[in-house]
Amino acid sequence: MKILSGNFLSQIVAIFKRANRQQLEKSQIIAELMKICEESTIQVDLDSKRLKKPSTIDQSIIQKQRQFDPESLDTLNCLLPWSSYNLLEDSMILGSAYTSQKRSAPHSIPDKHINVLQKYCDLRECSAIELGCFEGHYTASLATICKKVYGLDSRIENVIKTLVRCWFLGLEDKVYVDLINLETDNLVNFYQARYQVEKIDLVHHRGVLYHLANPVAHLIDVSKLCNKYLYLHTQYATHEQAATEYESPLGKYKVFAYKEKTINYAPFAGMVPQAIWLQKSDLFRILKQLGLTQIKEISDTQERNGARIELIAAKTGVKLR
Ligand SMILES: C[S@@+](CC[C@H](N)C(=O)[O-])C[C@H]1O[C@@H](n2cnc3c(N)ncnc32)[C@H](O)[C@@H]1O
């Protein structure tokens, strides 16, 4: 099955945005569209074997999924610049893939790492927040168990896609999604002002810390909002990479200065051209300093983009199971 790629769709949105800001004349809009048609892969060919498999939405858990006719689903898949997808019944999908390599496999709802989290804490008793919610797969997965889930992202298209996915899955009563830029907005102030919420039990933090310019200032903010647990999955700097000095609110650290790519259109990029990657030992020390004193390492892997750690940390006095 061939479907428009998220890479192509998100570049189209970037062109339309410039046009609406009066930055492009009609002839330039056409020229820019032609350029991306020539340069990027317009369609992704999704593996038909993969599409013949059962739905990746667990119907024993998701009981109020909305049922769409194929025509409406096709319309929904064109309306938003989707870059990831779920497989539904009869080889239908909600969303798209970013490219043939990136986000080309269907996401499952609930995602299996929710079971891993359940080993450490009772999610049924938790309110949760997902930072950098992208297209809502983890926000929705958390909403299948947690009492209430807040999602946030700095990109309006991701906020909308998350809301739509959660609505499609019938989880909208439990989910609140907001447009927040972690570079500039304060979490504690925002949640207090908007929802009169001072603390959230679980902070779900996956794929975001290594996109930030001031990760320590951000972790301070997170530690104030976090009532019990922090689930953190992030790239970190190896000793060899850590050649830059970073002055943070908790002191100086040797870090890796990471250059963001495709920042102007990629739906999963950071918001600033340069991000700071902490070293693992510093990250652990900072978490402990901020009161997240029990840390369990779930995985530590070497990936294409560098070293990546996955952990769960609990506040002093809170038990990890
Ligand atoms: C690499 S993706 C990770 C998405 C998802 N959490 C996952 O693990 O698949 C990073 C996400 O964080 C968002 N993001 C990046 N910088 C952000 C910022 N400064 N504030 C809020 N969200 C941000 C991006 O828009 C994107 O949705």
229-280 residue pLDDT tens: 999 999 999 999 999 999 999 999 999 999 988 888 889 999 999 999 999 9
Residue 130 in any domain: the answer is yes
Residue 321 in any domain: the answer is no
Residue 319 in any domain: the answer is no
In sequence order, what are the beta bridge partners of 252? 247
295 phi, psi to nearest 5 deg:
-125, 125
**202: part of which helix (H) or strand (E)?**
strand 200-206
Are 286 and 218 in a shared domain? Answer: yes
CA of 239 to the centre of ligand 1 (A): 25
Q: Is 10 in the pocket of ligand 1 (CB under 6 A)?
A: no
CA of 269 to the centre of ligand 1 (A): 7
Q: Provide the domain limits for residue 30.
A: 2-95
Backbone angle region of 228, left / alpha / beta, with phi > 0 → left and psi within -120 to 50 → alpha: alpha
User: What pLDDT sits at residue 304?
Assistant: 84
pTM over 0.85: yes
Are 37 and 91 in a shared domain? Answer: yes
Q: How does the average pLDDT of the chain come out, rounded? A: 96
Residue 100 in any domain: the answer is no
Q: Is 136 in the pocket of ligand 1 (CB under 6 A)?
A: no
CA of 28 to the centre of ligand 1 (A): 31
Which residues are CB-contacts of 91 (< 8 A; sequence separation ≥ 6)? 1, 48, 51, 52
Q: Residue 319 gets which letter from DSSP?
A: P
User: What pLDDT sits at residue 265?
Assistant: 86
Residue 106 in any domain: the answer is no
Are 194 and 232 in a shared domain? Answer: yes
Q: Is 218 in the pocket of ligand 1 (CB under 6 A)?
A: no
Are 85 and 135 in a shared domain? Answer: no
Are 70 and 128 in a shared domain? Answer: no
Residue 46 in any domain: the answer is yes
- What is the CATH classification number for the domain harbouring 150? 3.40.50.150
Matching residue, tokens 């038909």: 48
User: What pLDDT sits at residue 194?
Assistant: 98
If you take atom 12 of ligand 1, which residue's CA is the nearest one? 132
CB 46 within 8 A of CB 122: no
Residue 108 in any domain: the answer is no
Residue 161 in any domain: the answer is yes
Are 138 and 247 in a shared domain? Answer: yes
Closest among 9, 73, 62 to 36, alpha carbons compared: 9
Q: Is 158 in the pocket of ligand 1 (CB under 6 A)?
A: yes
Domain count along the chain:
2
Are 305 and 261 in a shared domain? Answer: yes
Residues in the chain with pLDDT < 70? none
Residue at 167: amino acid letter = W
CA of 132 to the centre of ligand 1 (A): 3
Are 308 and 172 in a shared domain? Answer: yes
Are 150 and 292 in a shared domain? Answer: yes
